[in-house]
Amino acid sequence: MKRQYISILSLSLLAAWSNVHAQTTVTDSVKVLQTGSNKMVDLGMRSEKQWRTTAATYTITGDDLARTSAANLLNALQGRIPGLTVVTGSGEPGYDNPGLYIRGTSSWNLGANRLAIYLDGFPVEIGALSPLSAFEIESVTVLKDAAATAIYGLQGGTGVLSVRTKKGNQSERIQITANGRYSVGTPIQLPQVMNAYDYTRLYNQALANDGLPAKFPNPDLYKATNDPVHPNVNWYDEVLRKISVLQDYNLTFRGGTDKARYFVLMGYTDYAGIYKNADAIDVDYGTNAKYKRLNLRANVDLQLSKNLSVGVNLSGITEDRITPNGFSASTIFNNLGRIPAAAFPVKNPDDTWGANGVYGFNPVQLLQQSGSYNSHARNLQTALNITERLDQFVPGLSLTGLISFNNQYIGTYQKIFTVRSYELLKDVNDQAILDGKGNYTYKAFGAISQSISDGGNQHWQHNTVQVGLNYNRGFGAHTFSGAIQGRRENYTHDGQVYAVRTQGLFGYLTYDYNGKYIVDFSSSYSGAADFAPGSQYGFFPAVGAGWILSNEQFLKNQKFVNFLKLRASYGKTGNINEDQRFLFEKWAVGGNGWYTGADAGTNQAGRLEGANPNAAFTWEAKTAVNFGVEAQLLNNKLSFTADVFHEKRTGILQAPASIPTFTGFRFQRLNEGVAENKGFEAALTFKDKAGAFQYYAGATAAFARNKIISMAQEAQPASYLYNQGYRIDQMRGLQQVGFYQQGDFDANGVLKEGVVKTSYTTPKPGDLKYVDQDGNGVINDYDIVPMKYTKIPELTLGFNLGFKYKGFDFDAFVQAVMNRTVSLLDDAFDYTHPFVNNNNITAFSKNAWTPETAATATSPRLSTLNNSNNNIRADFWMRNGNFLKLRSVELGYTFPKKGFLKKMNTMRVFLIGNNLFTIDQLDDMEAERLSMGYPLMKSYSFGLSAKF
């Protein structure tokens, strides 16, 4: 290990100290390239000229993100970066973080948001990115291959998302920009539930299927809309209003001199949800879902002397979230779908809140009078970097030091109220029970109370210190750049007993010859406190190579080819997993105690030996190879980049199989799993102009497919029952072959000889019928086979086009995802299983099996009883989750500099539409979230941008 440590240091110092008497000015090989090649690429903890990097990366700007009217910055990334999969979360204001995956998944232990996230070169939690304003973002870059991520060592195995905020620039006067937008959103798709009449008549039908008497003597009574005894309540209309409103405003100041440069932002966001009449009782006591945010940022760069420069990044963000007290948005929307329209009225005839002993949840009452839950988050992000040039000792050498403190704290404040609700009593004939005076009678639920509580329950803190040397120098046709840096990180959060601590060295050396041939060596020697002494550090090297063919003589004078580069990389990275730590130790765990003393005695707590340790416990490691091409053609009108990759992950933690229970012991997870991941990414952009008309069009594609190479499992009777050879989280289920029909049964209702049986229940006509995979005549878990895809799409496409003409500008972006399967059983169980456990009935069951619809039915027979045969995983519940969505369309107009506008730089007005239409293959639902929970929104925004 020590030799590896020294080798990195020696490599960097050799580059720094060699040939002291060589030329003292850096020869920039970029001069032999085409215009625009000085552009830098952000690599998180380093940067490099775009033409000179050998890594697989992709960058978008803050201007790209501003085309989406999303309160959460991360949701603006959807579909815009090939290789980054953004899985939409809830639509609830303030609780809408998505899941992020770089190049899909290659481990069953590292799911969404386990990628490394860096802000201005320092690690942060995802909660530090989501509240950022698009107008403070300079760039967002995804680092994909080992050449880009090896320097991250134990944190680079799932890829890196690096965000850079804007810096000041040298200008003659202050550049002031004001931006404001007002957005109106409406739900894309709400679940479609049946009205009271259809509910009651179909409930009677389900009871008949179960051999039970009818519950509702006259379903026609429920056709009325104003009968409290026979209610017909549309709970979605009662609880939700048609629109939500998002307001976003910010003011920025940018400028500076050669001695001091600055960027300052002040921003305010106000996002109100779609709960109706949430402040009906008290305007100061509203419970509508709300999210309010205040952003403050100041980035300053100072040139204190010829050699000494200092950079300071300061950001403070406050977030206030308001929701109804005592239940989450998912609880509200689950009940909106589960409570039948016929259950009870919103309010009884005597103006008390309606209720029902079966459901116990009046959404309108609880929304208006259960209290409010307020959370207040404070985000502080600070970073200081100091650079001292050491040219007087070694030309091109500099010393840097960096330190950051990033943290978040969330405090809560609750107003807690309870009020009574009342069930209007009815008899067995479904008629109201009246008292002696002819008045309705009621049964009371709940009590009247009120209280207030506050506290703090969430926090995280991520501190980083880094120091080292940088080198950048040219010798004629030879140019060297490199660094050796030491870094230490400390990460703590609520619920954590021991902080996550990592430290080590990282370094890189990039060499190019005459702007044609590039070699990049990078590595990290890093360790974590999670592992046993002597096994805490690992070496993670990578090598990248690039060949700029456009600088070769045979292409140098070609007008068709302006820039062409081939690149390749190979290397190793790793991942620690906070969910699995210190597995090399043996711990005592809770166990049965004993009693001491007379009579019943006093129970004394007991302890047991924990699992046997994994003495070889280590990190998951990933080796990756990547081949890429970058090109600019047709006088830089056509840009193209493409990558193909192959990754192999080893040491995946997994529980060992085949340890008999009678042994009395168990093992910690072992590093035995192996998986591979391969795919490609491509991006193509064409831009041109015809006179004053400028236009552009682009397309991106990204594909990633994983496969389990080795995974521990108990012995199985058939090969298809093993996970090995299939995708991680592969969909599995029984293969459906229609429904059991009446002809499958004899006169006594018993299955005929030769008809496949099911071990899950005694089937009836209208139940799902499956393929007997192992041919034993009985359907059971051994007939479950792998099928279709996973919930994470394998293929993501993006299409972008736009133009500018005489002050007008237009931009549209469409995203498509493919090779994706969703499970109604997992994500929409209540929606697809009517009446069971007092559930409602939805449009999904509008064509349920009956003897009359046996040939055309699209869902099983109705039943009020739990039927495990119809609840088992099967392809019947799996749906094509592909979709195509218009993510954004923007139309803007920039006013000419006339009249009072002459003193302004620019003034622009714009209209933005987001998620305006979706094409998918799901009936009555939208594919992205299956219309479950707080709905996703389509929005229309009007905005103004002014620069002074």
Q: What is the mean pLDDT of the chain?
A: 91
Residue 6 — very low, low, confident or very high, per pLDDT cuts 50/70/90?
very low
Strands 736-739 and 693-710: unpaired
Mean pLDDT of 46-59: 95
Mean pLDDT for 863-879 is 95
- pLDDT higher than threshold 90 for residue 935: yes
Q: How many whole angstroms separate alpha carbon 209 and alpha carbon 174?
A: 77
pTM here? 0.90
Model confidence at 148: pLDDT above 90 = yes
Q: Are strands 116-119 and 160-165 parallel, antiparallel or unpaired?
A: parallel
**pLDDT tens sequence across 405-462:** 999 999 998 888 888 999 999 999 999 999 989 899 999 998 888 888 888 777 889 9
DSSP element (H, E) containing 129: helix 126-129
446 sits in the region (left: phi over 0; alpha: psi -120 to 50; else beta) called left
Q: Give the separation between CA 771 and CA 872, rounded to whole angstroms.
A: 13
821, β-bridge pairs: 880
Name the 3-class secondary structure at 91. Answer: coil
Q: Locate tokens 């009452």: which residue?
A: 365
Give the list of residues 6+ apart from residue 235 with CB closer than 8 angstroms, or none. 193, 335, 336, 339, 341, 363
The yes-or-no verdict on residue 511 having pLDDT over 50 is yes
pLDDT cut 90: percent of the chain above it: 79
Beta strands at 449-475 and 442-445: parallel, antiparallel or unpaired = unpaired
Per-residue model confidence (pLDDT) at position 557: 77
| pLDDT bucket at 897, cuts 50 / 70 / 90 | confident
pLDDT at residue 19 is higher than 90: no
Q: What pLDDT, on the 0 to 100 scale, is given for residue 260?
A: 95
**284: pLDDT confidence band, cut at 50, 70 and 90?**
low
Q: What is the pLDDT of residue 666?
A: 82
Q: What is the DSSP string of 18-80?
A: S-TTS-SS---GGGGS-TTTT-EEE-SS-EEEGGG--S-EEEEEHHHHTTS--SSGGGGGTTT
Residues 6+ apart with CB under 8 A from 705: 104, 677, 678, 679, 727, 794
According to the model, what pLDDT value does residue 665 have?
78
Place 31 in a pLDDT band, splitting at 50, 70 and 90. Answer: very low
Tokens of 696: 């552009």
Identify the band that residue 523 occupies on the pLDDT scale cut at 50, 70 and 90. Answer: very high
> What is the pLDDT, as a whole number, of residue 17?
33
423 three-class SS: strand
Structure tokens at 103: 């190049």
In 419-550, DSSP assigns E strands to 421-424, 442-445, 449-475, 478-493, 500-513, 517-528, 537-548
Give the model's pLDDT for residue 213.
95
Percent of the chain with pLDDT over 70: 95
Given this model, what pLDDT does residue 609 score? 81
In 310-345, which positions are buried (b, 16+ CB within 10 angstroms) versus exposed (e)?
A: bbebebebebbbbbbbebbbeebbbbbbbbbbbbbb
Positive or negative: CA dihedral 790, 791, 792, 794: positive
Q: What is the mean pLDDT of residues 790-797?
A: 96
Strand partners, 939: 185, 914
Look up tokens 């809770």; give the residue: 590
User: Above 50 in pLDDT, residue 15?
Assistant: no
Range from 157-171, 517-531, 662-676, 692-706 carrying the lowest mean pLDDT: 662-676
Checking if the pLDDT of 7 tops 50, the result is: no
130: amino acid identity, one letter: S
